[in-house]
A and B are shown apart, each in its own frame.
Chain A
Amino acid sequence: MPAPSHRRRFAAGLALALAVSVGGSALLLRAARSQLGEEAEVRRGIVSLLALGELAARAGGKGEPLRQAVAGWQAAQAPGVTARVVLFQGVSLEASTAPQDAGDRAAPRRLAREEKAAYDRAQRLRGAVQGNREGGASKAELEIERLPGGGRSLAAPLFLEGQVAGMIEVATPAPAPPAPPGPWAALLAFALPLLAFLPLAGALGERRPLLAAAAAALLAAGSVGHGWGALGDLGGARRQAHAEVGAHAQGQGAAAARFLAAAGLAAEPPLRPGAWDADLQRAPRAFLTESGAPDGARVEADVASARGDARGTLLAAFVVGLGALALVGLGGLARAGRALVVHRQAYAYVAPAIAGTLILVFFPFLYGIALSFTDQNIYNTSTPLSELWVGLRNYSTILGDFGLARRAADGTLAWNYLNFYWTFLFTVIWTATNVACGVSFGLLLALALDTKHLALRPVYRVLLIVPWAMPNYITALIWKGMFHRQFGVVNQALAIFGVEPISWFDSPLTSFLTAFATNAWLSFPFMMVVSLGALQSIPADIYEAARVDGASRWQQFRAITLPSLKPALIPAVILSVVWTFNMFNIIYLVTAGAPNGATEILVTQAYKFAFERYRYGYAAAYATIIFGILLVYGTIQNRVTRATEAL
């Protein structure tokens, strides 16, 4: 097969890369502009809404004065903008300029049964205001809904003497769609570099490095050129949006002031049109001064931050484009395509498994690592990770905190059980004691069961592996019950010997003992079965020979039994170290960390940080550290086993 020319490949690669980079950024910017337009639309709506709220409150909030205020407000609105005012008192529609409330349905009147949604909405807003006053989670005090025709319905609570007396609804018509930015800039940024590349490639010939450099440079030129223009465009659009909202607020303010003067209502305190540009909590967005003029410094800061965000997106699009260029230009895609065709059957067989594990095993792992560099928690899960980035802070907080204990007020030492090093130390102790106990006890039982001609041997063996067969969460809950202070059988049994009931979970040592007993009960059968298998594979004549040579039983054990057990026991010990280190169920269900987290092991602590304290980023960093520890352990263990095998 003749190799396709490098020139052609790079030309194709450049075309693809430009399409990705320029096209992608054009689409993203287009989306950003239309979002900006909607945002400005909503802000203008909120300004009108709050202007009406202010007028209605000053007009006394009911009766004819209110209707006059609404009429006065209506005069200053764009065509299609209408308002309704609903009062709790009498469940009445107190004023309305909406077309459906004409004729015999004209305000004032009681709300009809089918208008219950409006009443519910008012109730919701009142609930939100009261909840926020009591210091609960901040709920939205404004509601914005899309109407079927493309317009919006905005609602705000109506305040009278500090109380929510009803609701103001403003309906805005569907805005004229903003003129999309012309495609010419993007097309130009796509075509020019490509046109420039063709003669350039002719001049450079079939030299790969030069072709690659030229293509990359042209890609950069196209992307930067397009991005430059697009960023300027976006900044201008943003400035314009702020200016439009400001002009609208000033217009509404002036109209409101005129109405107040004409109706002889109180003009004090002065109106603050700038504050009408508010967010959903009715807090001013602060892009406008009180009079409603755009606040230059804040607007520029906002434009700069928006441009910063957009620049990141453009950069990402450029990097993806560069990747595409490299993939196509250097022949990676062609090679991958050929491999895919040649081995299509093999890939078809592995594809589902690989896809599944990529999505639900590897992606979560990488996502978890990314999470560990953020301070994500339950309150900001909808914020993108890039905005929560804290770098290595979680790691330095976890690993840099050596405050294991502090002096309490009365001078006694108080352990800080949440400290990483305490938990780590506890985990090491937990693992070491459990594995040591499991190995020695399992080996002891295996030796006992290995006795020749012992009656009932198979029966013992089957009965002794029952703990391994039981699901371990059940085992854990059983033992927790047996250690119950008042009714648990352990305390009942101790009472026979006159021991006072012990509160097992009140001190770290006894609490540890409960988990230890559970895990010991659970884990010895594994070691026993492994050892027994190994013991039975030792040929009997070795012992015969040793006896003939006059070796004592202890010497036989040291010289024959232990060395023959080693190949089976070492992997079993390694495995059981990892199991015990990660023995989530026992700790979580038996001690649950009692008292005060003293008996948490690393994995349960990480779980609690995530699902009881809801500090997702911190917990992810914690779990990543656990992974690091296991990785180090795995590497060391690998070296050691290899070294022992070499002996």
Chain B
Amino acid sequence: MARSRREEHLPHGLLHAFLLATVAVTLYPVLWVVTIALSGRQSLALADLPADPGTFDRLRAILPWPSRWSWDNFRAVLSDQPFATWLLNSALVAIATTVVGVALSCTAAYAFSRFKFPGRRAGMMSFLVSQMFPGTLTLIPLYIIIVQWLGLGSTRLGLIIVYATTSIPFSVWMLKGYFDTIPRELEEAAIMEGAGPGVIFWRIVLPLAKPAIAITALFSFMTAWNEFIQAATFMDKEEMYTAPVGLRFFVGGFQQQWGYFAAGSIIVSIPVVALFFYLQKYLVSGLTAGSVKG
């Protein structure tokens, strides 16, 4: 039977018009940033208006097309401004967070998945509940612990410790879910061969769980790379800012360096946007499977 060609649908032309309009609105802010970044100027305005602007001039002013192409903003933001330092801070913090967080989560998730021990349920439940703690409530005590007690204010180590530990509960839940799906028979066979628990964990379970570990690692990385509030609170010294705090520095308060901001934004966004598109098929299931996150 041939598929009915008379499926009652809206005319495709109308759909295309709607979708194109939406795409235009969606992409406009992105194009706006790209235009400012490539205009070589610090101004917010896309074009200078003459004293008595006509309709054409006004259209020109909202069209995301620079009047002059230039890489100056990119060059300046990376060399004249401390932005490269900030990027380096962000990268170091995000990478260290990922390594530490994933290492701790893997072992814990494996134990939660494979061993029966007193406190197992309580541990998992407390990890779940901790996802509901409001960030603003823990921010003040964290500030006191990190800055006043440990003296780690304005250090990368302080941020790494905070990011890595706060990412543990979510990572443990994700990884435990995956470990649960790895058949136990494999491990039992290894035990028959005389392998110890350490060998099983390192040689059998971890290699099998590579996809889940990769996703967890990427989540940790993206969270640390994009985090703004804690970094803004703990990092007082300008040279220790992370990229998000630094970008705000360009356009917050009395500074109005929109060109630097735009160029910096693009540099910061490219890795995460790329990662995001690479990961997007996991995002929905991963997120909706999680619970109330506050």
Contact = CB atoms under 8 A, between A and B. Distances in A.
Nearest to B36: A481
A472 B7 CA distance: 40
A112 B99 CA distance: 57
A529 B145 CA distance: 40
Interface stretch (A142-150, A504-512, A621-629): A621-629
A610 B46 contact: no
B219 interface: no
A251 interface: no
A361 B12 contact: no
A626 B12 contact: no
Contacts of A606: 134, 136-137
Contact of A445 (B7, B22, B27): B22
A298 interface: no
B145 A360 contact: yes
A314 B71 CA distance: 70
Nearest to A629: B134
B251 interface: yes
B181 interface: no
B175 to A, nearest CB: 11
Interface string A89-104: 0000000000000000
Contacts of B139: 607, 610
Contacts of B112: 350
B42 to A, nearest CB: 11
B141 A575 contact: no
Given A357-B168, A477-B261, A339 B118 contact: yes
B193 interface: no
A228 interface: no
B277 A469 contact: yes
Given A496-B59, A630-B134, A367 B141 contact: yes
B40 interface: no
B288 A572 contact: yes
A352 B288 contact: no
A582 B111 contact: no
A641 to B, nearest CB: 11
A478 B33 contact: yes
B61 A489 contact: yes
Contacts of A362: 126, 130
Contacts of B108: 349-350, 352-354
Interface in A111-135: none
Given A352-B108, A466-B26, A521-B29, A575 B292 contact: yes
B45 interface: yes
Contact of A448 (B15, B33, B111): B15
Interface stretch (B158-166, B184-192, B209-217): B158-166
A582 B135 contact: yes
A361 B169 contact: yes
Interface in A567-625: 568, 571-572, 574-575, 578-579, 581-582, 584-585, 588-589, 603, 606-607, 610-611, 616, 619-620, 622-624
B147 to A, nearest CB: 10
A400 interface: no
A175 B197 CA distance: 61
> What is the interface residue range for chain A against chain B?
35 or more
B26 A471 contact: no
Specify the main secondary structure of chain B where it touches its partner.
helix
A85 interface: no
Interface string B49-83: 10001010011011000000000000000000000
B226 interface: yes
B248 A589 contact: yes
A449 B49 CA distance: 39
Contacts of B46: 489, 492
B284 A582 contact: no
Interface stretch (A263-271, A284-292, A404-412, A451-459): A451-459
A627 B294 contact: yes
A529 B282 CA distance: 11
Interface residues of B, number: 94
B27 A578 contact: no
B273 interface: yes
- The dominant DSSP class at the A interface is helix
A346 B148 contact: no
Contacts of A371: 140-141
A448 B19 contact: yes
Contacts of B132: 627, 630-631, 634
A281 interface: no
A487 B141 contact: no
User: Which of A357, A449, A462 has the most B CB atoms < 10 Å from its CB?
Assistant: A357
Nearest to A338: B118
Nearest to B162: A360
B92 interface: no
B251 A454 contact: no
A468 B277 CA distance: 10
Contacts of B166: 360-361
B22 A464 contact: yes
Contacts of B197: 345
Interface in A440-489: 445, 448-449, 451-452, 454-456, 460, 462-475, 477-482, 484, 487-489
Given A473-B248, A477-B248, A584-B135, A352 B294 contact: no
Interface string A349-390: 110111011011111110111010000000001000000000
B228 A470 contact: no
Contacts of B182: none
B9 interface: yes
A495 interface: yes
A364 B144 CA distance: 9
B30 A466 contact: yes
A437 interface: no
A427 to B, nearest CB: 13
B104 A352 contact: yes
Contacts of A368: 137-138, 140-141
B275 to A, nearest CB: 9
B276 interface: yes
A496 B27 contact: no
A360 B292 contact: no
A360 B142 contact: yes
Interface of A: 339, 343, 345-347, 349-350, 352-354, 356-357, 359-365, 367-369, 371, 381, 445, 448-449, 451-452, 454-456, 460, 462-475, 477-482, 484, 487-489, 492-493, 495-496, 521, 529-530, 533, 553, 568, 571-572, 574-575, 578-579, 581-582, 584-585, 588-589, 603, 606-607, 610-611, 616, 619-620, 622-624, 626-627, 630-631, 633-634, 637
Interface of B: 7-10, 12, 15-16, 18-19, 22-23, 25-27, 29-30, 32-33, 43-46, 49, 53, 55, 58-59, 61-62, 104-105, 107-108, 110-112, 115, 117-118, 120, 123, 126-127, 130, 132-142, 144-145, 148, 161-162, 164-166, 168-169, 172, 197, 225-226, 228-229, 233, 244, 247-248, 251, 258, 261, 265, 268-269, 272-273, 276-277, 280, 283-284, 287-288, 290, 292-294
9 contacts: A353-B104, A448-B18, A464-B23, A474-B247, A477-B261, A477-B265, A479-B29, A585-B229, A606-B134
**Nearest 10 A/B pairs, CB to CB:** A623-B137, A353-B108, A349-B111, A346-B115, A364-B141, A343-B117, A487-B44, A469-B276, A367-B141, A487-B45
